[in-house]
Structure 1
Amino acid sequence: MAKDTLKVSGVTYTTADTGYFEKRSLKRSAGIWGLWGLAVGAVISGNFSGWNFGIEAAGFGGMLIAFAILVVMYYGLVFSIGEMAAAMPHTGGAYSFGRAAMGPWGGFVTGLAESIEYVATNAVIVYFSAGYANGVTEGLMGFSLPTWVWWIILYTIFVALNTAGTSISLKFAVTVSFVSIGVILLFGVMALVSGAASWGNLFDIVPDPGQTAFLPHGVLPILFALPFAMWLFLGIEELPLAAEESHNPVRDIPRAGLWARGTLIFTGLVVLFLNTAVLGAEKTGGAGEPLLDGFRTILGDDLAWVAGLLALFALFGLLASLQGIMFAYGRNLYSLSRAGYYPKFLSLTGKRQTPWVALIAGALIGLTALIVVEVTGGEDGVGGAVVLNIAVWGAVLAYFMQMLSFIILRKKYPKASRPYKSPWGMFGAYAAAVISALIFLGFLLNESFRPAIVAIVIVYVIGLIIFGVYTRHRLILSPEEEYAVSGGLHGDPQTEGYGGQVEEELLAMDGVDGPELK
């Protein structure tokens, strides 16, 4: 018997096979602390590595200004996505928001940007984790391993952890988040008590002719520092991806986002000021592992084994983010696959109700990217910076598209149910969108960011061709698609379940209900 189909908004939906959604089920395991741990854990590695390249680009003063700008951006962003996540409690997150606001093409562009962001971010964390892991083994055991060996070890361990069950991975996220915060606080106390921190070190970069110690390279490089300052916050926006695994997504996702944001502003200020004050701005800007170098500076060469022990604790921060971002890319790939934008086998979940196929696929893509960058000239930390730029570029595009979605949805569905409303309203969305555009401009103006842009353009060209020619004719009415097609009448899996009668009703609609069918 032929399958039922529905053609709308330039795409074709086909009835899912029997048992399709049962093979793609998720388990509700996340309370507010689990969500907080997921958000903080996803970001906390940015306090250990990556952020410091912004000081090299713009000096301490430029980085401080970039940090302040991003505090505004992330308040607007997290408030806005909190509102959309409460209204659309689907695993799709950014893709779901873009789909409802801008149709299938807008949803795909937004979802692909987030795929790039999270897969590349995870690769960056693996890259820096390998450096810290070697710091541990060298300091405590006197040996090191090739970085590519660490990459394989780290991906293998964390794919296994994430496939073991959502409850297990969330408990791990909370634990390592607390440990990571403790390491940052310990560093701050040691820096102040030891006297190793000197405020004069913040301005030890020799200014360019005509510039000042505060902005040694002038004003324009602040734009170049923004992508690296993002590393102190990037990942907190993943919370909506846990909607179908949260006990109460309407209440807990906005609240966890607020708590996590405050936590990360505090830890970001600690490392920005004290890590730089210990190492000096010039050395900090080029450090591959700035926090570990800071510990070494405080303790001295005679206590190298202690630095190795502290590197073990510092490694927890990177592992927290490795766990959190892997969770994010797994759910992002899962949701786009479940709806048919990506190959449908990627959304299979298995007995433990975790997207194990998507997790493996993301790991293989990330590992391949790291190897390619390394082979083509990624020595001396350049490889990490290139992949970091790819991650940030994907994030900036995803942010802009989500804020555009917020603005459109406020106007398109003014009477839609919004259990939580952004306290910053339209201002927050506009502010985050403008700052995202500024970061994008910084990418275009900085020649060193060009390889990242070229890589992403290639991915988009290939992805859009495949979507336009093939996958848009083979979509499935997943919860994200049901919400968009019905104009918000369907699509809450917590109350309606997946597919089944809801899907049949939408396939039978004749244009009376739902704006997309008119």
Structure 2
Amino acid sequence: MGVRPKASAAGVTYNAVDAGYFEKRGLTRYAGVWSLWALGVGAVISGHFSGWNLGLAAGGFGGMAIATAIIMCMYLGLCFSLAEMSPALPHTGGAYSFARTTMGPWGGFVTGLAENMEFVLTPAVIVFFIGSYLGGIFETGPGFQPVWWIGCYILFVTLNLIGVDLSFRVSLVVTLAALAILAVFWISAIPLFDFSRWSLNIGVGPDGAPVQLPDGGGTFLPFGIGGALAALPFAVWLFLAIEQLPLAAEESVDPKRDMPKGLILGIFTLIFSAFMVLFLNTGIPNGAFALSSSGEPLLDGFKAIYGADTAKILALIAVIGLIASFHTIIFAYGRQIYSLSRAGYFPTFLSVTHGTRRTPHVALVAGALVGLAVLLVVWVVAGEAGGAFIGGTLLNMAVFGAMISYMMQATAFIRLRLHFPHIERPYRSPLGIAGAAVTIVVAAVTIYYQLLDPVYRAGVIGAAIWYALGIGYFAAVGRHKLVLSPEEEFAMSGGRSH
């Protein structure tokens, strides 16, 4: 590739590197359509096991159903936009790459930092829940929780380190296993399903709080349309993280052909599963009211069907969904850190790949260490109360980061359509600019309703700290150390270079 000249633009400086720089940062192409499908669905699927159900307390069944439909529209707009952008800009950078091309280095970094927060914190929260399940199954005390966290990180980071082929195979296996568990639940729930008795058993008390209706028969929207809007942040869990697929572009055998197919198959798989879970999990004993405060709604549903005596076996089954998301999002943060580092936004040593396995081992370990550090600091400082902070505030930080990145990516799509009509587009979104606009509006409304919830507001404060640290580093150091990576070359050439 040769030595690259220095160049400056928008207050940033590009540093010359030789061909050896990129030789030390090579990836291997492996993924086909079904590997990409598994990567996207697997990242999301734990949200079908738990998390979404807390929206029932805000909106009742009807409010949660409407919220899910609205959020579905946001993700359809996003996924079709990504299906157009990712084969047109087939780089590992994903969201950062799209924003960098259309909004310059600062826009790219702000978008990348939002996605970084989402993908580093989400597996940290997931491993917290895995530890809780395993602690219950094997009857280890609360003090043993960090051992579960460290063990899970070591195991699944190692699986990602060994090679991209193994990483994708594991993703496919655990994703299929999680979907099989959901399918067994749906089939098992049908004989007990009673929509009016169980799904509509939430009413409104004199103080405006949800109350249980013993015989069901409540209204579809007990909290009105306001309750549906308040449930938006919780409906996000049914789809959060499918947007990580473009990060696998440089490890896809044919991203121009396979990336759109993987994204579209993935989002429609999740839409089907989301509505099946919403209807069938709430429509069996003990109904929507009990689920509205449950930490493990799918497990509670299995207990209602098969009895509490099988609780440990069912809990072990439920862990599969968490493992699927944990493993696949580890892949995502590894590539996300790698791409920002390769371009110099993060320290460049983070993007070095393994000499023989060609996996971004430094980025994978660094992301795990940050996630673990956050967990352990919260655990040590807050003790038993740390669980609420981890399960609430950290997860909300991830959602906030996701909404920012969605708005930026949808904006990038619109700007690509308007200002880069010449670039090759192997796939064109049938939803076009209108679909991207819907994504921006729904994401903005979701952030607004996050800010109305005190628990979510704490997450937004944490997100602001993450942003302050990241932007501070980039302003002082990172912007002077950029490298003409594939993402940067494409942007600097006005979309004429791949």
* TM-score (normalizing by structure 1): 0.89
Per-residue CA shift, 1:181-213, capped at 9, x if unaligned? Answer: 1100111122223x2765422222231449774
Q: Say whether residues 1:365 and 2:363 are aligned partners.
A: no
1:27-57 C-alpha deviation (Å, 9 max, x unpaired)? 0010111111111111111111111111122
The match for 1:396 is 403
Q: Following the alignment from structure 1 to structure 2, what is the Cα–Cα distance between the partners of residues 273 and 136?
A: 28
Gaps of 5+ in 1: 493-518
Q: Cα offset for 1:373?
A: 3.6
Name the structure 1 match of 2:184.
186
- Of residues 231, 237, 250 in structure 2, which corresponds to 1:225? 231
The whole-number CA distance in structure 2 between the counterparts of 1:25 and 1:477 is 15
The Cα shift of 1:378 comes to 3.8
1:88 aligned partner: 89
Q: In 2, Cα distance between the equivalents of 1:165 and 1:199?
A: 50
| Residue correspondence of structure 1 range 258-297 to structure 2 within 5 A | 258-278=264-284, 279-297=286-304
Aligned to 1:347: 351
Q: Which residue of 1 aligns with 2:484?
A: 477
Who is 1:500 aligned against? none
Alignment partners' CA distance in 2, 1:433 and 1:198: 34
Residue by residue over 1:451-495, the C-alpha shift from the partner in whole angstroms, topping out at 9 and shown as x without a partner, is 1111111111121122112110110000000000011121x3xxx
Partner of 1:317: 321
Return the letter of the residue paired with 2:6. T
**Secondary structure of residue in 1 paired with 2:21:** coil
Please say which of residues 167-176 and 369-378 is displaced more in the overlay. Answer: 369-378
Shift of 1:271: 1.6
- The equivalent position to 2:332 in structure 1, one of 317, 328, 331, is 328
Counterpart of 1:414 in structure 2 is 421
Partner of 2:211: none
Change (3 A) 1:381 1:267: farther
Equivalence for 1:6? 7
Structure 1 Cα separation of the partners of residues 299 and 134 of structure 2 = 11
- Displacement of 1:18 in angstroms is 4.7
Q: How does 1:124-163 map to 2 (within 5 A)?
A: 124-138=125-139, 146-163=144-161
Partner in structure 1 of residue 213 of structure 2: none
Partner of residue 199 from structure 2, selected from 202, 208, 232: 202
Amino acid at match of 2:339: S
Letter in 2 for 1:81: L
Q: Which residue of 337, 342, 345 maps to 1:338?
A: 342
Residues in 1 aligned to 2:55 and 2:111: alpha-carbon distance in whole angstroms = 26
Q: Which amino acid aligns with 1:24?
A: R
Partner residue of 2:244 out of 221, 238, 252? 238
Tell me the residue number matched to 1:33: 34
> One-letter code of the match for 2:113?
L
Tell me by how many angstroms 1:239 deviates: 0.8
Q: Contact 1:443–1:449 at 8 Å: present in 2 too?
A: yes
Check whether the contact 2:83–2:264 (CA below 8 A) recurs between aligned residues.
Answer: no
Question: 1:89 & 1:155 partners in 2: Cα distance?
Answer: 29
Structure 1 residues 364, 213: closer, same or farther in 2, change over 3 A?
farther
Alignment of 1:433-512 (within 5 A): 433-490=440-497, 492=498
Partner SS for 1:206: strand
The AA in structure 2 aligned to 1:482 is E
Distance 1:163 1:16 in 2: 26
Aligned counterpart, 2:24: 23
Tell me the amino acid that sits aligned with residue 76 of structure 1: G
Q: Secondary structure at the match of 1:461?
A: helix
| Letter matched to residue 102 of structure 1 | M
**Alpha-carbon distance in structure 2 between the residues aligned to 1:224 and 1:369:** 28
TM-score (norm 2): 0.93
Paired AA for residue 365 in structure 2: I
Q: Please say if residues 66 and 229 of structure 1, whose CA atoms lie closer than 8 Å, have aligned partners that are also in contact.
A: yes
Deviation sequence 1:196-254 (CA, Å, 0-9, x none): 76542222223144977433334323333212111111111111100000000011011
- Runs of at least 5 residues in structure 2 that lack an aligned partner in the other structure: 209-217
Amino acid at match of 1:476: V
Task: Kindly state the Cα deviation for residue 446 of structure 1 after the two structures are TM-superposed.
Answer: 2.0
Deviations 1:350-407 (A, max 9, x none): 1211111111111111122223344436456453122211111110000000001111
* Residue 69 of structure 1 pairs with residue 75 of structure 2: no
SS in 2 for 1:52: helix
Q: Distance in 1 between matches of 2:452 and 2:317?
A: 38
In the alignment, the residues of structure 2 paired with residue 323 and residue 61 of structure 1 have an alpha-carbon distance, to the nearest angstrom, of 33
Deviation at 1:282, TM superposition (A): 2.0
Note the C-alpha offset of 1:143. 8.3
RMSD, aligned CA: 2.0
| Offset from partner CA, 1:381-438 (integer Å, 9 cap, x none) | 4531222111111100000000011111111112221111101111110011111111
Measured after TM superposition, the shift of residue 309 of structure 1 is 2.0
Residues 153-198 of structure 1, C-alpha deviation per residue, up to 9 Å, x if partnerless?
A: 11111111111111101011111111111100111122223x2765
2:168 to 167, 170, 188: 170
Secondary structure (helix, strand or coil) at the match of 2:484 reads coil
Q: Is the 8 A contact 1:51 1:231 kept in 2?
A: yes
Distance 2:462 2:154 in 1: 25
1:144 CA displacement: 8.3
Alignment counterpart, residue 427 of structure 1, candidates 419, 424, 434: 434
For residues 133 and 333 of structure 2, the distance between their equivalents in structure 1, rounded to whole angstroms, comes to 23
Give the Cα–Cα distance (whole angstroms) in 2 for the partners of residues 380 and 166 of structure 1. 33
> Partner residue of 1:97?
98
| Counterpart Cα distance in 1 of 2:155 and 2:302 | 27
- CA 182–420 in structure 1, closer or farther in 2 if over 3 Å, else same: same
1:376-395 matches, cutoff 5 A:
376=382, 378=385, 381-395=388-402
> CA distance change for structure 1 residues 199 and 307 in 2, over 3 Å: closer, same or farther?
farther
Shift, 1:152, TM fit: 1.2
AA aligned to 1:468 is A
1:3 and 1:177 map into 2 onto residues whose CA distance is: 43
**Is the Cα contact below 8 Å between 2:193 and 2:280 reproduced in 1?**
no
TM alignment of 1:45-60, pairs within 5 A: 45-60=46-61
1:207 partner amino acid = V
1:313 Cα offset (Å) = 2.3
Please report how far the alpha carbon of residue 294 of structure 1 lies from its aligned counterpart in structure 2 after TM superposition. Answer: 1.6
